[in-house]
Structure 1
Amino acid sequence: MNIYFEDGQVVDETILATMKKAAEYCLDLEQVDQERTEISVTFVEGEEIRNLNREYRDTDKVTDVLSFPQFDDLNEIPEFGEICLGDVVICKDRALEQAEEFGHSFEREIIYLFTHSILHLLGYDHMEEDEKKEMRQREEEVMAHLGILRDSRGE
């Protein structure tokens, strides 16, 4: 499992190790070969994610995280070679705001947003109530596996 960051972006080793554990666990749950998988992560400011959100989702507002999956369906994953699962874009500003709002650390919020995004890359969504419930359960399972207890997020 390789996680690539935009040039010049440095991530704390503890956060990186936890991100990697989260991604590996998500991949194992979905039976995707983690040894062949690559994910790109970029941290951006509010205005940049707003522009991306407007361009790709027709929503003109700052959001916390965007996911750009390479596959519409996990059955499209090639049997051999590298699996470029997709791109994760996390807004540092929103992560900090949400950490304060929910009363937990910035690091915990980054891990949650990253996990949320990985699940999107693996085909999960939350547009319909049943999908949202399934995705939230999977997020809680991953966070519990990481030893990160549920917070007051309530989503």
Structure 2
Amino acid sequence: MAKLRLDWVNEQEGLDISAAMIGQLKELLEMAAEQEGISEGEVSLSFVDDETIQELNKQYRGLDKPTDVLSFAMQEMFDGELEINYDGDYEEEEVEIDAEDEEDGDSDDADDDGSDLLALGDIIISIPTALAQAEEYGHSVEREIGFLFVHGFFHLIGYDHENEEAEKEMFGKQETVLAKAGLTR
């Protein structure tokens, strides 16, 4: 059985993060990891506002504008730097959690603190941008946040869309996971 963990925090106002939404994101994590043959790892997820993601985008990418999702892969690159992936112009574990823990965003399992898991990285999603994109693209907020989360996860494990071929591969993999979870357009 895969041992995956999703830690999350809601650092913004405007959208309450429900237990159902977190459950769906954990399911997406399991599906994407299984599809890619990943049996263990930890992903940290932060929900932020546009101002926070704009500051991170400026600090790490030199772009003084908000974006929808940033991914900070924890795997070291050849030059010793951490890879930072992003997207701003696109749409869009043994995963066990106690109901009490869901309320405060802490997903520690009482039997295992998960400290021995490989940290895959951090995904940061701007909720205001996700809400606007869901409306713009005419699909649900759940679909948009799911898309951004899966997109961020694929960046964490090394996928990118620097050219047409790589984009087609990455987006195809994402859509497979989202379709399996019933998050279609």
Q: TM-score, normalised by structure 1?
A: 0.84
8 Å CA contact 2:10, 2:48 repeated in 1: no
CA distance in 1, matches of 2:36, 2:176: 13
Q: Which amino acid aligns with 1:117?
A: G
Q: Which amino acid aligns with 2:20?
A: T
Q: Which has the higher helix share?
A: 1
User: 1:11 deviation in Å?
Assistant: 2.6
User: 1:28 deviation in Å?
Assistant: 1.2
CA distance in 2, matches of 1:128, 1:87: 24
1:119 is aligned, of 147, 151, 154, to 154
CA distance in 2, matches of 1:7, 1:135: 27
Count of residue pairs the alignment pairs up: 141
Give the aligned partner of residue 16 of structure 1.
Answer: 22
- Greater RCO (CA < 8 Å, at least 6 residues apart): 2
Specify every segment of 5 or more residues in structure 2 that has no aligned partner in the other structure, as ranges: 78-115
Q: Percent identity?
A: 40
User: 1:100 deviation in Å?
Assistant: 0.6
User: 1:94 deviation in Å?
Assistant: 0.2
Give the aligned partner of residue 77 of structure 1.
Answer: none
Q: Which has the higher strand share?
A: 2
Give the aligned partner of residue 34 of structure 2.
Answer: 28
Q: TM-score, normalised by structure 2?
A: 0.71
Q: 1:46-65 counterparts in 2 under 5 A?
A: 46-65=50-69
Specify every segment of 5 or more residues in structure 1 that has no aligned partner in the other structure, as ranges: 74-80
CA distance in 2, matches of 1:8, 1:117: 18
